Amino acid sequence: MAKAKAKARGREAELDSALERAADLLGRARFPIFGGLFTDIAGAAAALSLAETLGGVFDHASSAGLMRASKVMRETGATPASFGEVRNRADTVVVIGKGPLTRDPDLLDKLFPAKPGLPRPGDNKRELILLGADNTKTDNPKTPKGLRTTAIDGKSPLPELVALLAASLREGRFDLRDKALRTEIDETAARLRKSAFAVFVYDPAELEEPVLHTVLEMVRHLVLTTRAAILTTAASGNGDGVNLCFTWTCGLPVRTSFAGAVPQHDAWAYDTDRLLKSGEADALVWIDALAGESAVRPKGVSAVVLSANPGGAGKDDIVIEVASAAGDHDAALYLSPISGIGMVKAAKANKDKPTVAAALTRIAELIDERRAA
């Protein structure tokens, strides 16, 4: 750890000294937040452990979409498919909104590879439907060659497009002045009904809860007669990985507080921004240590910052430069191609800086020592 940089109150500091100051601050904190959490599974586990010890809150910077998806899951369930199943077996893929293609411009090439995939149900040709994906703009990804693609945009907002498709899918009665849109919607619904495996792809961060419910209702309707599923875009900053780790440990999603006798989840109450603005939280641990990604930090609040790129830290921060997951060290992260947690090798191993897990574990030890003294 000797070569890692650290700062305390705007001045260069030895790493050990910064860790000590962080332990002092957190040991006194009444209600700290562990936020950002752009880290690997080991870092998340260490943060969770410390949050639990201190009676704090655990939230991820990309949790907005995760919160919606997890709430809908708790209320009605879900029917996800793995990326590999969709790539190989879906005959109708409906990309909803702009989020999926913005997050991964190569998504369509990955879902529709040129070479034939594994045996799949039915004998339909594969087909892509872009629903409100606004693919006509030049900066959006092109669709794979030879793939039959229908782009439905119209002038309707995305929730309305989804609702129209859901209504048409059930062959319900509804009026629509835009006859061209009506035709596209009805044809798409008909295609879905005759699909052998239809999949709706979306980013939960882009769709509001009622829309998520509508999509899942379409799946539940389709599975009465055929196969259907959803494929969601992973949250940035290893949000899905951090959320899974939190769930297997505590049985709850992130945005959970350890202040009470049992962990309590509340997507509104334990939102980092809200807790900081309201002044309920009195300390922030901000973790931003993933190769190639950066968490957007709340403004105007000093923090204990564990960052792989600590340049932008404020003068009142206690800053600990840490190794970047998948950059400086091997890291367990959520990987979309396997729809689960996998291991990513370090781009260039660097053991001079502590990992998030090591730094937090040391802070926890220091707090324990102070409490025992």
* Residue 163 in tokens: 């609702």
CB of 173 to another protein, least distance (A): 27
Does 105 contact another protein by CB under 8 A? no
Q: Which stretch binds another protein (CB under 8 A): 16-24, 55-63, 116-124, 182-190?
A: 116-124
* Residue 308 in tokens: 């792989």
Q: What angle do CA 194, 198, 199 make, to 5 degrees?
A: 165
- CB 60 within 8 Å of CB 44: no
Q: What angle do CA 242, 245, 249 make, to 5 degrees?
A: 140
* Residue 161 in tokens: 């497009």
| Distance separating alpha carbons of residues 277 and 272, to the nearest angstrom | 9
Assign 322 to helix, strand or coil: coil
| Distance separating alpha carbons of residues 356 and 322, to the nearest angstrom | 6
Does 197 contact another protein by CB under 8 A? yes
Between residues 150 and 350, which has the closer beta carbon with respect to another protein? 350
Does 362 contact another protein by CB under 8 A? no
Assign 184 to helix, strand or coil: helix
| Distance separating alpha carbons of residues 143 and 149, to the nearest angstrom | 8
* Residue 342 in tokens: 């996998």
Q: Which stretch binds another protein (CB under 8 A): 137-145, 158-166, 283-291, 340-348?
A: 340-348
| Distance separating alpha carbons of residues 315 and 36, to the nearest angstrom | 19
Between residues 118 and 372, which has the closer beta carbon with respect to another protein? 118
Tell me which residues in 201-220 interact with another protein (CB under 8 A): none
CB of 334 to another protein, least distance (A): 9
| Distance separating alpha carbons of residues 344 and 334, to the nearest angstrom | 10
CB of 78 to another protein, least distance (A): 5
Does 70 contact another protein by CB under 8 A? yes
Instruction: Report the residue from 37, 62, 67, 85 that binds another protein according to the rule CB under 8 A.
Output: 85
Residues 6+ positions from 73 with CB-CB distance below 8 Å: none
Instruction: Report the residue from 50, 57, 306, 357 that binds another protein according to the rule CB under 8 A.
Output: 357
CB of 153 to another protein, least distance (A): 29
Q: Which stretch binds another protein (CB under 8 A): 67-75, 158-166, 176-184, 284-292?
A: 67-75
- Report the DSSP beta bridge partners of residue 57: 33, 257
Binding mask 162-191 for another protein (x = CB under 8 A): ------------------------------
Between residues 45 and 133, which has the closer beta carbon with respect to another protein? 45
Q: Which stretch binds another protein (CB under 8 A): 37-45, 55-63, 135-143, 149-157?
A: 37-45
Does 76 contact another protein by CB under 8 A? yes
Between residues 26 and 42, which has the closer beta carbon with respect to another protein? 42
Binding mask 248-287 for another protein (x = CB under 8 A): xxxxxx-------xxx-x----------------------
- Report the DSSP beta bridge partners of residue 92: 127, 198
Q: What is the DSSP letter of 292?
A: T
- CB 36 within 8 Å of CB 294: no
Instruction: Report the residue from 102, 247, 294, 302 that binds another protein according to the rule CB under 8 A.
Output: 247
Instruction: Report the residue from 180, 190, 296, 338 that binds another protein according to the rule CB under 8 A.
Output: 338
β-bridge pairing 32-38 and 283-288: parallel
Q: What angle do CA 234, 344, 59 make, to 5 degrees?
A: 45
Residues that bind another protein (CB under 8 A): 41-42, 45, 70, 73-85, 87-89, 110, 113, 115, 117-122, 196-197, 223, 226-227, 229, 244-245, 247-253, 261-263, 265, 330, 332, 335, 337-345, 357
